[in-house]
A and B are shown apart, each in its own frame.
With several copies, the nearest count.
Chain A
Amino acid sequence: MTKTLHLINKAPQHSSALDECLGLILSDPQAHTLMLIEDGVYAALGQADTNQHFLQGLQQSKLPAYVLMEDLEARGISDKVSGVFSLVDYTGFVDLTLKFSKVQSWA
């Protein structure tokens, strides 16, 4: 058994990736971790209507979840992020990929 870091790079408005990813991994928070990058960071907007269902699921599951700081800053939303997420910069992103056996990207 290996541990997997899942990368999501699309907003919920542009891809069912986040939904589909969580459908597979929420039940097994030991083996999986979520990270949002690029447009995917919009899913971390704590007050956005579309995110409420997913943020609740994430909180209940205790699945670790990260979001890329640089992509939040570029979009001007770093002060609006849900507390469920840990913020990492690119160096932290590199470190994170090494804590898992593999990285799976979703688009």
Chain B
Amino acid sequence: MTAKKQKILVIIRQAPYSSVLPEAALDIVLTAAAFEQEVSLLFFSQGVLHLLAQESTDSSAMKNISRALPSLELYEVNNILLDREALQANALQEDELLLPAKLLNPVEISAAIAAADQVFNC
């Protein structure tokens, strides 16, 4: 493994339990952080729904990635971004979210994409 460093932007844009992609994205975030890359995580579109506290998972075989979100801090993933328009479109309030996050408008999201060396959009 080289000591190079890249800006990696990982985007979660699928809702909880909709597909394996959100979990795949989170695993990339944790691995990139472990390899000391400069990683940002953006919850985009329906992905913002991961930030709601979920009541039970017994009836679902899919991993509830919301439970893993608090561990992001341990991995020093501090750049958590959130799609402000998606929050509004789903009538969600900031104070009901599991994690504090930086709210971005479309132009800022576009800039975050432009600034990244690599984007994983899962």
Q: Which residues of A contact B (CB under 8 A)?
A: 1-2, 4, 11, 13-14, 16, 20, 23-25, 27-28, 31-32, 38-39, 42, 45, 47-50, 70-71, 73-78, 80, 90, 101-102, 104-107
Residues 90-119 (chain B) with a chain A CB within 8 angstroms = 90-91, 106-107, 109-110, 113-119
What B residues does A4 contact at CB under 8 A?
A: 113-114, 119
By the criterion CB–CB under 8 Å, are B113 and A74 in contact?
no
Contacts of B117 in A (CB 8 A): 2, 101-102
Q: A2-B114, A4-B114, A39-B15 are contacts. A74–B109 as well, Cβ < 8 Å? A: no
Closest-CB distance, B74 to chain A (whole angstroms): 23
Interface residues of B (CB under 8 A from A): 13, 15-18, 21, 44-46, 49, 52-57, 59-60, 64, 66, 88-91, 106-107, 109-110, 113-119, 121-122
Chain A residues lying within 8 Å of B113, measured Cβ to Cβ, are 4, 24, 104
Question: For residue A78, which residue of chain B has the nearest CB?
Answer: B55
Are A24 and B55 interface neighbours, CB within 8 A? no
- Cβ–Cβ < 8 Å partners of B54 in chain A: 73-76
Q: Residue on B with the closest CB to A77? A: B52
- Closest Cβ–Cβ distance, residue B6 to chain A (whole Å): 10
Partner of A20, one of B13, B18, B64, B122: B13
Partner of B118, one of A27, A75, A102: A102
A104 to B116, CA, bound (A): 11
**CA separation between A27 and B107, bound complex, in Å?**
8
User: A74 with B56: in contact, given A2-B114, A11-B18, A42-B15 (CB under 8 Å)?
Assistant: yes
8 Å CB contact of A75 from B17, B44, B91, B119: B17
Please pick, from A11, A23, A71, A102, the residue contacting B46 in the complex, using a CB distance under 8 A: A11
B19 to chain A, nearest CB (A): 9
- Closest residue of B by beta carbon distance from A17: B13
Task: Say yes or no: A42-B46 contact (C-beta < 8 A), given A4-B119, A71-B59, A74-B17.
Answer: yes
Among B15, B21, B59, B60, point to the contact of A107 (Cβ < 8 A).
B21
